[in-house]
């Protein structure tokens, strides 16, 4: 299935495991189960070990990302500005935890360490859009903008609004 990726690596070589996982994730945006088994067979490791590595590193994802990726900043400045409450509010609004994707595949939540926008802490990003100086109350309204109609249109309109 992934012969094109595999040809860059010698077979039965354990040290290729992480690069292979990265390559496969670059294609799909996540690591499908069948691909993990294929990688395991190729590098000569049990599936359990490959799964162990894939779940150990934060960079690997076992489920596809949602249509909209919410990144909640938990850096120092945001932390001081109560970003834990922001995270909690986002999680409860979508009824999923950080690292998960909502059942309708509309949203994924990720926690990041600092997105470099400390001046507007606490801050989250949804796709490429920044929402700063957030209060917990605003979160449902922001999320509402991303539900329903297709993504590109939504993004345009919200950007306009933000400019105004």
Partner 1 sequence: MVQLTINNIKVNAEEGMTILDAAKSVGISVPTLCHLKDLIPTGACRICSVEVEGQRGLVPSCAFPIYEGMVVDTNSPRVRRARKTIVELLVENHPQDCLICVRNKNCELQDLSEKYGLREHRFVGETKDHAIDISSASMERDPAKCILCGRCVRVCHEIQKVGAIDFTNRGFASIVTTPYNKGLNISDCILCGQCILVCPTAALREKSTLKEVSNALRDKSKYVIVQVAPAVRASLGEEYHFPLGTDVTGQLVTGLRRLGFKKVFDTNFAADLTIMEEAAELISRIKNNAPLPMFTSCCPGWIKFAESNYPEILPYLSSCKSPHEMEGAVLKTYYAKKMGINPKDIFVVSIMPCTVKKYESNRAELSEETHPDVDAVLTTRELVRFFKMVGIDFEGLPQDTFDNPLGESTGAAAIFGTSGGVMEAALRTAYYKMTGKDLEHLEFESIRGLDGLKEAVVNIDGTVLNIAVVNGIGNVRQVIDDIKENKSKYQFIEVMACPGGCINGGGQPIHQIPEKVVKRMKALYQIDMEMKSRRSYENESIKALYKEYFIEPNSHKAHDILHTDYVNRKKTLKN
Is residue 44 involved in binding partner 1 (CB under 8 A)?
no
Dump the DSSP string for the chain.
--HHHHTTS-TT-GGGHHHHHHHHHHHHSS--HHHHHHHHHHHT--HHHHHHHHHHSTT--SSPPPSEEEEEE-SHHHHHTTHHHHHHHHHHHHT--TT-B-TTSSEEEEEES--S-GGG-S-EEETTEEE-S--GGGHHHHHHHHSSS-HHHHHHHHHHHHH-
Site string for partner 1, 12-31 (x = CB under 8 A): --------------------
**Which part of the chain contacts partner 1 (CB under 8 A), choosing from 21-29, 51-59, 143-151, 153-161?**
51-59
CA distance 107 to 87: 14
Binding status of residue 55 toward partner 1 by CB under 8 A: yes
Interface stretch with partner 1, choices 20-28, 32-40, 82-90, 117-125 (CB under 8 A): 32-40
Q: How far is the CB of 124 from partner 1 (least distance, A)?
A: 23
Binding mask 82-121 for partner 1 (x = CB under 8 A): ----------------------------------------
Residue 38 near partner 1 by CB under 8 A: yes
**52 lies in the binding site for partner 1 (CB under 8 A):** yes
- Which residues are at the interface with partner 1 (CB under 8 A)? 1, 33-34, 36-38, 45-52, 55-56, 62
């Amino acid at each position: 299935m992934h012969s094109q990726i595999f040809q860059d690596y010698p077979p039965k070589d354990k040290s290729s495991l992480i690069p292979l996982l990265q390559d496969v994730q670059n294609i799909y945006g996540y690591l499908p189960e069948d691909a993990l088994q294929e990688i395991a067979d190729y590098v000569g490791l049990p599936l359990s070990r490959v799964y162990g590595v894939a779940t150990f590193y934060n960079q690997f994802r076992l489920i596809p990302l949602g249509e909209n990726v919410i990144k909640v900043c938990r850096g120092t400045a945001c932390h001081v500005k109560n970003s834990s409450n922001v995270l909690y509010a986002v999680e409860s609004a979508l009824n999923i935890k950080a690292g998960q994707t909502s059942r309708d595949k509309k949203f994924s939540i990720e926690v990041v360490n600092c997105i470099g926008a400390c001046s507007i802490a606490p801050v989250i990003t949804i796709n490429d859009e920044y929402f700063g100086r957030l209060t917990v109350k605003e979160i449902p309204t922001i999320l509402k903008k991303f539900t329903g109609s297709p993504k590109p249109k939504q993004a345009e309109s919200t950007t306009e609004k933000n400019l105004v």
